[in-house]
Every structure is written in C-alpha cells, then in structure tokens.
Amino acid sequence: MATALIIEQLKETFKSGDRDSVQTLILQQFQLSKYPFIYLLDLIDQTHEYSSYNGTLSNFILHTFSRWQDEFYKVYQTLFDSHTQNRIFFLLVQAPVTSLDIIIKIFHIENDYIVHCIKSQLLCQDIKYNNHNIKNAVKIISHLKIQNYFTVREIILPLIINNRDHLIELYLSEDKEQQKLFFQTLDHLCYHKGNMKDILMNDYHIPSNIVALLNKRQIVKLAVRYLNIYAIDNVDQYPNLSILQRKRTLGYLINVKYSQDKTMSEDCWNELVQEIVENNIALSDCLIEMLCDRDDLNAVKYWMIKLERSQQSLSHWVQKYLYTKPQNTVEQTSSNSTLTIDYYKLSIPINKIYFVDNTENYNRLLDKLWSSNDLIIGFDCEWKPMFNNSRTSKQRISIMQLAFQDEIYLLDLLNYFHTCNETQLMEKLANRLFDDENVTLVCYSFQSDARMLIASYPIFEKALVSSSTLLDMSIVQNDLLRENSSIFPYLSNNNNNNSNNTKEKGLSELIKLIFGQPVYKGEQCSNWEQRPLRLAQILYASIDAACLLDAYNFFVKQSLSPDFLRSYRGRKPKRLQANITRQIDENYTNNQILQTEPRQENLSINQNDTVSSLRPSQVKFVADNMLHGLGRELRVCGCDCIILDDDAAHTDAIKYAKADNRIILSRGGPYNLLRSNTVEGRCYCPPDLSAKKQCENVINHFNIKVLPEDIFSRCTICNGDEFDIVDGKEIRALFYKHYNYKPEDTDEPELLNYSSQIIDMNQMKLIKTGVTLILTGLTSRNLPSYSEYYICIKCGRVYWQGTHWRRRRLKHIEILHDNEDDDMIQFVDDSKEEYFDAMENTQT
Ligand SMILES: [Zn+2]
C-alpha cells in the first residue's frame, strides 16, 4: 500500500482512539518493508505533523518502531547514505523535544555527529542567525546537555546579541559552567573603558555591518537582569558588570536627590552614595559627572573633596564646567526645604529610648514586656535598602522598634539577637510579641515587615503564622476614612486644591490626619546596618513606632469604644497570609539548597545526581480530603499516602503526621490551619492543577526520585504495598464461577470446578487474609490475556499488567525526569486516556 494511503488510514484509526489497531497496522508495514528505517522516515514525513510541532501520531509511530526494533528487528546501526543521514538530522531538528531521545536511540546517533551537524547546518559565521535555526540548535543542545562542545562565539554570543531571552535561560539552565561563561562574556563586552563595538569586532571577529546594527543598551539591560535572575552573590568577580550595576544605582539615587518631594535626608543620601562609590575611580567619575549634569556645584565640590579627586584628574568637560561656573553665584540652597515643614515630633524624651544591644537593656526589655497583662505596643522594623537585588533572601531586618507608653526600645536584631544563641529566649520573645492574648501590637501595613522578619529570622515563623496580636492601623484608617471620617481633626475638605495634603501617604498621612503634622521619612532608606546609628536614624526609628501608639491613644480618647479597636486585633491586612506562607516556602527551599548543594564553587555538571534525592519509600504523606486525586497519583508513584475520608476532620491529618512523621498535603483554609500546627516545611500546599500535575509538583518539591520499579508498587485504592501474585487460571476460574459460566462458554471447562489453595471460590475470598476479592474491570475479552494477577492483600483489588500498565510506567518516568519541558507535558496530556485505565480498571 502506498505510504500516503497508509497514513490516511493511520490518522483515521488514531483519531478514533483505537491504539491497538494503529499499532498492528504499523507493525505489519515494518514487517513487510525492505528498508524499515527509510520506511519509518517516509511515514513520519507523510504525517506532516512536525511542521506544526504536534507530533502525537509521529511519536506513537516512533515508539512502536522502537519496540519492534527491540523485539524483532534487532538492527540498530546501519550505514546510511548521505541523503538519508540528512533526512535523519532534519527529523531531529524538526521533532519536538519529547521525541529527541527515541529518534537518537532508533538511528543510533552519536553526540559527535549531532554536534557536527548543528555546527555545519544550523550555525553560521556572521552571527545573524535565522531564528528557527538557533532555536532548534539550542533545543537539541540543552536537551542532550552538550553545551561544552560549543564555543562562546557559536552560541552564547549570538544569543546575547540577538537578545533571545528564553533561549538563554534554556541554554544556561542548571549548567553553572555555562552561566559563568555567559557572565564572563557579558563582563568582557561591558568593559568600562572600552567600546562594545570594538570589542565585538576585535575580540570576537563579528563583521562590522552586524556590529553597526547592535543595540548596546539592550545588552546592558540584559546583563543587569541576568545578574538578578541567577542571583549572583559575588558580582565582584565580574568587575565591569559590578560597575554597571552600581552606576544604575547611582542614577537612581541622583533622581531621588533631585526629585520634587525630597524623600531622603542629606546624610542618608551621602552614606548610600559613599558606600556605592567606595574608592572606585570609574564610579566617582560617574557620580561627579551626574552632579555636573544637574548643575549642582556645591555637591560637585563636596564629593571632589570627599573622594579626594583633583580637578586635573576629572574629564575635560567636568573641568570646563568647573572653570566656567562663576564661583560666587553659589548659594546655600540645599536642605533648607526640609526645615520649613513642621514634622511630627517624638513625645517621649530621648533618654527613654533604649538601644538593645547588651544584656542590661535586654533584661530591661524583658521586664517591660512581662510587666503587665494588657500591653499596647507600637511596632515597626527597619532594614537596609538593596537597590540591585530584589531578592528578600539577601536582606536582613536590622532594627525592630517597640514603643511603650513611656519608653521606646530599639532592638538590634542584626548584631545582638543574631549572635545571641538563646533560641528559647528568642522564641519566647516571638510568641509574646505575635501570639499572646495579653499583648496588642499596633503596626502599619504589616505585610512587608512580616515577610522580611521571616526571611531574616525563621524563628519568628510560627508566631507570625498566628499573628493574633496585630492591630494594623492601615485597616482602621481605611475603614474610618470611609465610614467615619469626621473623627479626623485635620481632614480638610479641599483635598484636591491643596497639594500639601495629597502628598502624604500611608502612615504619614494617618498621623497628619490626626495631629496635623506628617512623619518625616528622610531616613527610611538609610543604612540601617551601620553602628552606631546616627541620632537622626534613632529618632526616625523611634517616631515610626511611637506615633502608632499615639494614634491608638487618640482613637481611645475620641471615645471610640475599646471594643471598636479591639475588633481590629488579629485582623490581617491583605496579602499578609500570602506573604507569610510564601516566605516560609522560600525559607524551606533555601534550606534545602543549603543542605544539598556542595559549598564548592565548581559544581559538577550532573547537578541533578549530586543533589541527594529521596526514594518514594523514604517519605510518607497524608492528603487532605480535597486532594483525593493527588493522593492516588502519589500511590501510583509508590509513595505511602493516607487520604482523609470525605467526612473526616482536617485536623485528623495532624494525628497521622505526628504518628508516622507524615508530610501534610492540603489546600485553602484547611492548609493555613494545618500549617500553623505543623513543623516548618512539613505541610505543603500543592498548586491548583490537575492531580497528575500536582503529583509532579510534589515529587519535585520534595526531590523524590521515582524509578520504574516504583510505579504501581502500591495499591491506589487502599495504600497497601503487599500483593499476592497468583496464576492467571486462579482468577479465570473465579471469574467463570462468579458469572455462572457453562462448559460451552469457555475453552477451559476444566476450570469450572477448579479448587484453589489460594482463593475461596465460593466466597470470593483470599484464603490467607479473608479479604474479599474485587474483580472490577475484568471482562471476558481481557481475561485470557494475562498469565498472572496481583491481589492487594489488604483490600482485595485485583490488578493485572496490561499494555497500559507498561505504557504508563514508561510515561511516568519520562514526565518525572523531564518535566521542565512543556512539549512533553502537552503530549502526555493529549494521550491521557490511553494509559489511565489499567489501575482504574475502566477497561471494557
Ligand atoms: Zn488495596
């Protein structure tokens, strides 16, 4: 039959879902074919599937061929002519990632050959790559992990120049060596004294016409972004990138300094800039030039002295600027504007502010904290800003402020509490502050504080999950503005006309509404890690906490009943819960990384293998009753998983967790409840996906390595892992008995009166354990096919190893080891029904 006709027939049958017939048809064709390899290529060509990247039928054909090759053909390596070789490579290039391995296996293609073909057919010298080619090259290279066969100029540089974001990530994924090369290349391109175009032409031999088209800004942006994506700790190993990053920060700070509303004090600004510039000449040049740009002669002179720069050492145009600017026109204009605004002042004398970085003050604080059974405390935290890195994991809370009626305590978390090893004391403190019925903590928009607290000091996790002491003034403020705004003495009706009123935001706005004066924010972004803190910083920190208590007292005095404020206690602002759980998850992941990642700089390339993974037998779960599907999937993978009954209480999960050291899986409200009662990291909320994808997620999250022998090693119905293997005739005899077969109904009439040592034929029970067998899914059609059956000795469910069992085993392994690949997941979903049934026994 002509190939085209065959394909038509295959497509029809494939669509109807009858995989067995498709398989039979394909196998016949291979058997008849004189040149099966060529015939296979023809078949795949004719499907025309790979042009649209949907290779479902092709994939099926390839797998069928491979099985046939293994079982009957047994020919692996042949000498193909160059035309056929080209066809094979073309197939590889076109195929979705999911089919690469099987194609390589069938045609026995060596890495060297693939590398050769990629270099000669997909890559080219002038670096202006065809999008399709470079994409296919990266797809194959990263899948086979053969990056080290290629030079920077062949792949990395073109990807940078062409700004191919997702390809860069695919290419560099998990390969520390390539990441290093990537950053080295960027660092070289961004040489701070050099011209990027010259570097490309001279050092990388990129033709000048290509270089001319280049967007330098884009490359710089790319560099900055990737430093963040890969969270490069030590940017100093790439000196040019480090300068680049710090120049951007300087630019940002310059904008802050000369913006309309001065949000940063002079001292604070100077400190930050000093730290960024350090003694780097390039950066000090950059700073001085930026200041000249703003025509701020005072600042230029100040920094020239501070950075010890002589006029002669500066660039020509700066020298010219200094020369032409008339000296005597300079006026003292700066910093006056801040004095004209009347800011909110501290009502507690300065000698009542205690900086807690020693035992004496710490004990004083403890006395204070337990001095009364009705404590109202103003609360706030400060940390040093990070301009380059958005990752909270690198930031630390430095100061925590507690304002009482007559005293203020500034806790030096960074230095004193961090070194203080008394975890019990810390825990006691955490519980008193965040989870104690005698304490009310008056705070403002606690969400970010909470996240940062947990990131810095995981010991706060448990108390913060409860957060029962919180009284968040931002909620009170919103409600009152909406429902009872007349309570604010300084709420002016002409808000829109008066720009001074609209400028304040958040806490400062609240204080202004109550007391008529805003809170000075100039020190907010200052260097909170320096010791000693400046007086301005100490005052700022104190006011931030104390004004909250003042606001609280104001509302009490306004005869808002105590119950009114109390009703806000424990009410969580938006996103607080989400922030807390997200950060706890992040802590958990970071911990995992710390524990499993070798501390050396050079990680081996096979990173996946060095991370210590768990076997399914080493981990136990209990799934909450909304996660039935997930629980069953985990059992398929061989994981011990208890599934809560529909009418069970969610808290039953805790009992199982404690009894057996199980990890709890739950979602939504119950998850929050369960998590707060569990040790960190032992309660997990899988994403809202299909059961199968949730299972993949859980397997990955806990780094469980599932091997073929694990699949179906557990009963999905009852979680049992002990099976009795019985001969096929035992089950057939039972089946005949059960359905009252007559001798003429079967080829095995002798089985109608079969007496078994294992099964009680009359009662349908396993003699050994007395459990009743469940035959669901067995039919007269599939019955004769199997020579043995598996009986779960706990619940009596009968299983058999159908083709689906095998196929599912295969699929499962593929998903679990290659799940970052979208194509693969897509494919598996497409053909879901075909391998789902063996265990569910839905065959007919
Ligand atoms: Zn069972």
Rounded Cα distance, 1 and 23, in Å:
16
Cβ atoms of residues 414 and 397 within 8 Å: yes
How confident is the model at residue 648, as a pLDDT?
82
Q: What are phi and psi of 179, to 5 degrees?
A: -60, -40
Give the confidence band of 451 by pLDDT, cuts at 50, 70, 90.
confident
For residue 763, the CA-to-ligand 1 centroid distance in Å is 18
How confident is the model at residue 275, as a pLDDT?
87
Q: Which positions ≥6 away from 250 have C-beta within 8 Å?
A: 273, 276, 277, 283, 286, 287, 290
Q: Which positions ≥6 away from 341 have C-beta within 8 Å?
A: 518, 520
Give the confidence band of 326 by pLDDT, cuts at 50, 70, 90.
low
For residue 773, the CA-to-ligand 1 centroid distance in Å is 10
Query: What tokens appear for 679 in the block?
Result: 């040790």
* Interval 502-516: pLDDT, tens: 467 889 999 999 999
For residue 812, the CA-to-ligand 1 centroid distance in Å is 21
Lowest model confidence (mean pLDDT) among 379-393, 402-416, 419-433, 646-660: 379-393
For residue 795, the CA-to-ligand 1 centroid distance in Å is 4
Rounded Cα distance, 335 and 802, in Å:
82
For residue 718, the CA-to-ligand 1 centroid distance in Å is 4
What integer is the mean pLDDT of 666-687?
84
How confident is the model at residue 612, as a pLDDT?
63
Which has more pLDDT, 460 or 56?
A: 460
For residue 708, the CA-to-ligand 1 centroid distance in Å is 20
Cβ atoms of residues 653 and 664 within 8 Å: yes
For residue 187, the CA-to-ligand 1 centroid distance in Å is 60
Q: How large a percentage of the chain has pLDDT more than 90?
A: 25
For residue 774, the CA-to-ligand 1 centroid distance in Å is 10
Cβ atoms of residues 488 and 512 within 8 Å: no
Give the confidence band of 436 by pLDDT, cuts at 50, 70, 90.
very high
For residue 380, the CA-to-ligand 1 centroid distance in Å is 55
For residue 720, the CA-to-ligand 1 centroid distance in Å is 5
For residue 807, the CA-to-ligand 1 centroid distance in Å is 22
For residue 616, the CA-to-ligand 1 centroid distance in Å is 18
Neighbouring C-beta atoms of residue 498, cutoff 10 Å: 11
Residue 528 has pLDDT above 60, yes or no: yes
For residue 719, the CA-to-ligand 1 centroid distance in Å is 6
For residue 838, the CA-to-ligand 1 centroid distance in Å is 14
For residue 627, the CA-to-ligand 1 centroid distance in Å is 18
For residue 761, the CA-to-ligand 1 centroid distance in Å is 20
For residue 753, the CA-to-ligand 1 centroid distance in Å is 28
For residue 839, the CA-to-ligand 1 centroid distance in Å is 11
For residue 717, the CA-to-ligand 1 centroid distance in Å is 5
For residue 748, the CA-to-ligand 1 centroid distance in Å is 29
For residue 797, the CA-to-ligand 1 centroid distance in Å is 6
Q: What is the b/e burial string over 422-453, where b = at least 16 CB atoms within 10 angstroms of the residue's CB? A: eeeebebbbbbbbbbeebbbbbbbbbebbbbb
- What is the CA angle 127-131-136, rounded to 5? 100
Give the confidence band of 406 by pLDDT, cuts at 50, 70, 90.
very high
Report DSSP state, residue 774: B
Rounded Cα distance, 263 and 253, in Å:
11
For residue 710, the CA-to-ligand 1 centroid distance in Å is 16
The distance of Cα 426 from the centroid of its chain, to the nearest Å, equals: 29
For residue 771, the CA-to-ligand 1 centroid distance in Å is 10
For residue 317, the CA-to-ligand 1 centroid distance in Å is 83
For residue 682, the CA-to-ligand 1 centroid distance in Å is 26
- Nearest residue to 349 (alpha-carbon basis) of 551, 538, 529: 538
Rounded Cα distance, 351 and 407, in Å:
9
Residue 641 has pLDDT above 60, yes or no: yes
- The gap between the terminal CA atoms of the chain, to the nearest Å, is 32
Beta strands 723-727 and 788-792: pairing type?
Answer: antiparallel
Query: What tokens appear for 744 in the block?
Result: 């003429």
Cα 646 to Cα 636, 653, 673, 676, 700: the distances in Å are: 21, 12, 17, 22, 27
For residue 799, the CA-to-ligand 1 centroid distance in Å is 10
Tokens 């050959």 identify what position? 113
Rounded Cα distance, 789 and 590, in Å:
45
For residue 772, the CA-to-ligand 1 centroid distance in Å is 11
Rounded Cα distance, 733 and 52, in Å:
51
How confident is the model at residue 467, as a pLDDT?
87
As a whole number, the mean pLDDT across the chain is 81
Give the confidence band of 842 by pLDDT, cuts at 50, 70, 90.
very low
Neighbouring C-beta atoms of residue 486, cutoff 10 Å: 7
Rounded Cα distance, 87 and 361, in Å:
79
Report DSSP state, residue 163: T
Give the confidence band of 607 by pLDDT, cuts at 50, 70, 90.
very low
Cβ atoms of residues 196 and 190 within 8 Å: yes
For residue 792, the CA-to-ligand 1 centroid distance in Å is 5
For residue 736, the CA-to-ligand 1 centroid distance in Å is 23
For residue 731, the CA-to-ligand 1 centroid distance in Å is 17
Per the rule left: phi > 0, alpha: psi between -120 and 50, beta: everything else, 777 is left
Rounded Cα distance, 143 and 222, in Å:
24
Which has more pLDDT, 199 or 496?
A: 199
For residue 658, the CA-to-ligand 1 centroid distance in Å is 24
Count how many Cα atoms sit within 13 Å of the Cα of residue 38 in the half-sphere of its side chain.
11
Lowest model confidence (mean pLDDT) among 133-147, 157-171, 181-195, 535-549: 157-171
For residue 793, the CA-to-ligand 1 centroid distance in Å is 7
For residue 667, the CA-to-ligand 1 centroid distance in Å is 26
For residue 199, the CA-to-ligand 1 centroid distance in Å is 68
For residue 704, the CA-to-ligand 1 centroid distance in Å is 23
Neighbouring C-beta atoms of residue 709, cutoff 10 Å: 10
What integer is the mean pLDDT of 487-494?
78
* Interval 228-237: pLDDT, tens: 777 666 777 8
Neighbouring C-beta atoms of residue 772, cutoff 10 Å: 11
For residue 713, the CA-to-ligand 1 centroid distance in Å is 11
How confident is the model at residue 433, as a pLDDT?
94
For residue 648, the CA-to-ligand 1 centroid distance in Å is 20
For residue 722, the CA-to-ligand 1 centroid distance in Å is 8
Query: What tokens appear for 356 in the block?
Result: 């807690």
For residue 510, the CA-to-ligand 1 centroid distance in Å is 62
For residue 673, the CA-to-ligand 1 centroid distance in Å is 30
How confident is the model at residue 497, as a pLDDT?
44
How confident is the model at residue 441, as a pLDDT?
95
* Interval 561-582: pLDDT, tens: 768 888 899 888 887 887 787 7
- Nearest residue to 205 (alpha-carbon basis) of 134, 152, 149: 152
For residue 652, the CA-to-ligand 1 centroid distance in Å is 21
Beta strands 640-643 and 353-356: pairing type?
Answer: unpaired
H or E element, residue 398: strand 397-403
For residue 716, the CA-to-ligand 1 centroid distance in Å is 7
What integer is the mean pLDDT of 762-789?
80
The answer to whether the peptide bond before residue 532 is cis (omega within 30 degrees of 0) is yes
